[in-house]
Amino acid sequence: MRNIADIRFYPGRMLGLGNYRPGYQAILDFDYLSGKSEPSIAGIVTAAGRFQKYFWGTREVLIPCFTSIESAKTAVGDIEWMFNVNSGRRAAQSTRQFFQVFPDAAGGHIFAEDVPEKDALELYGTYQLSGKTIIGPAGVGLLVPGYLKLGVVGGVDYRQLEKNSLMTPGSVAVLSASGGMINEIITQVASAGHTISFALCFGGDRFPTTTPKDAFLAAEADDATTHIVYYGELGGQDEYELADLIKSGQMTKPVFAYIAGVIGENFDTPVQFGHAKALAGNKSETASAKRQALKDAGAAVALSMADFAASIASIPTKKTERKEPPVIQDRKTSLFSSTISRESDDGYEFVGSPLQQWAKEGDMAVQIGAALLGKRPQSQMIVDFIRTVFLLSVDHGPQVSGALNTIVTARAGKGLVDSLAAGLLTIGPRFGGAVSDAAGEWFTGVTEGKEPAEHVESYAKAKKYIGGIGHKKYRLGLPDPRTDLLAEFADKLPNHRYFDYAKAIEAITTAKKGNLILNVDGHIAALMLDILETEEHYDEAQLRDLISADFFNALFVIPRTVGFVAHYLDQKRLDEGLFRLPDDDVLLA
């Protein structure tokens, strides 16, 4: 088991596996009350949404959610701890997967009961014996005051954390087989005027991944711990190992113990209590026998819970400067969430920076890139690409449907917003809305391993157009000059599998008809996919989400909005009056 002092030195960040809102909120409350600058939970692996809202003090924060441990690694980087709240059936598999993805992690807590015993033994042999700290299963975790709350140990209500001063490091280690009792014992320790050095619940299963012996040796090695309070149960042989530690001198710190389950000795046949291990199969496993073994070794063993409380109260108090936690009150759940902008003490913030800071930086492409991605771009490549796309897409003449609608509406005497809306509402699959379609084409083809010829043939049979292919004016021998500028970005990328796929499609379609070239939309979609993957490190799941959200069409909508506004203002300057089609331009059938 990891040295408790190491945990105090570097508690690290945590990844949640599965859904358990009360447990996660309790950890965030502990972090906040302990004065941490940010939550220790860096993410949650769950299919339940992309973010989950929790309170950080009195304000809400969004914790990112991921569909896999691998995607969490890509997004959040290194993780120190795992809090696994998956079912007993899935706990072992997800724990192994966690350590495969995060081999340098310190350990984790398995909350579930009913983990198969062979899995628990394997986890102990694979991870605990190699220096990891695995708490559970069927326990409530590990708490190191002010540093780490790994599980629901200590309680799920922040008022319980405050009352028992669990943000203040102390000197009494609380160790328990029972998750239900450990919080009661922590309260007894606090009520007696003590603060704890750490609390650990190894759980009630027959084969916990942290044994009582492991926990006792950790307490002995911990310089902050001066006394040990231990709650055990009937069943198993753990207390004999603990007695041997005391008698051999490996355990020198005073131990105050209570072993529950004497009532079981009044029955003619062994009685199974709440935990899997809480069954005395023979006389040596009875609570009375184990109490006597610990007492003979020199531990202070209580005969009742009242005696146990009095025994705890007899521990010499150690003067500790208790931390005054920040106040938590008047929590209110928000109606919706936004990560883009907010008002702060420095004015208005946009994607994490004050607007005046954006103005000083002076690069609109960086700001727009941050707006589209929801975070600052990591690479200069994507900034340069967005700038180039916008400069090339701002307007393609007054004849196209969006500009024409804007012009007609402006000439009808309508204002800027109405005219702009009229133009924007024409954007769709036949005008300007093909960038996302093209991105979907290239992404599906590449990720599903479709051969370009198969891709083209499937569309030909369905009599459908391929998004990003074809142009009315340009063709082989008369290329679109804008695409040359865009294609230069492929030369700057180490890998460009989406662009290569799109060009392979083009090679087939232009052999059929000269104007079925890879158009501007197709170039933008393919190259943006490649830049996001290679330069911004987006995985396939994240790219799929962007396609579903119509992200790629924003690369057309934003610059073209400027073009539509320009046409509106142009018409107001020209003031040509209401537009009406001449009769000769209309076929009256």
Q: Please provide the DSSP assignment of 536-570 as one string.
A: S---HHHHHHHHHTTGGGHHHHHHHHHHHHHHHHH
Based on the residue annotation, tell me whether 275 is a catalytic residue of this protein.
yes
Tell me which residue of 180, 103, 169, 112 sits closest to 323, measured CA to CA: 169
Catalytic residue among 275, 471, 496, 567: 275
Give CA–CA dist 345/294, Å, rounded.
60
Name the 3-class secondary structure at 297.
Answer: helix
- Please, which residues bridge with residue 61 across strands? 54
Give CA–CA dist 71/372, Å, rounded.
20
Q: Which residue has the tokens 């069927």?
A: 138
Q: Which two tokens stand for residue 201?
A: 């619940």
Environment class of 462 (CB within 10 Å of its CB; exposed 0-12, middle 13-18, buried 19+): exposed
* DSSP H or E run through 238: helix 238-248
Question: For 343, phi and psi rounded to 5 degrees?
Answer: -95, 130
Give CA–CA dist 470/468, Å, rounded.
7
Number of residues that this document lists for the chain:
589
Q: Which two tokens stand for residue 324?
A: 């005054």
- In single-letter form, the type of residue at position 11 comes to P
Tell me which residue of 432, 403, 409, 587 sits closest to 519, measured CA to CA: 432
CA distances, 326 to each of 8, 31, 56, 159, 165 (Å): 21, 11, 11, 12, 12
Give CA–CA dist 506/145, Å, rounded.
63
Task: Give Cβ neighbours of residue 513 (< 8 Å, ≥ 6 apart).
Answer: none
Which positions are annotated as active-site residues? 275
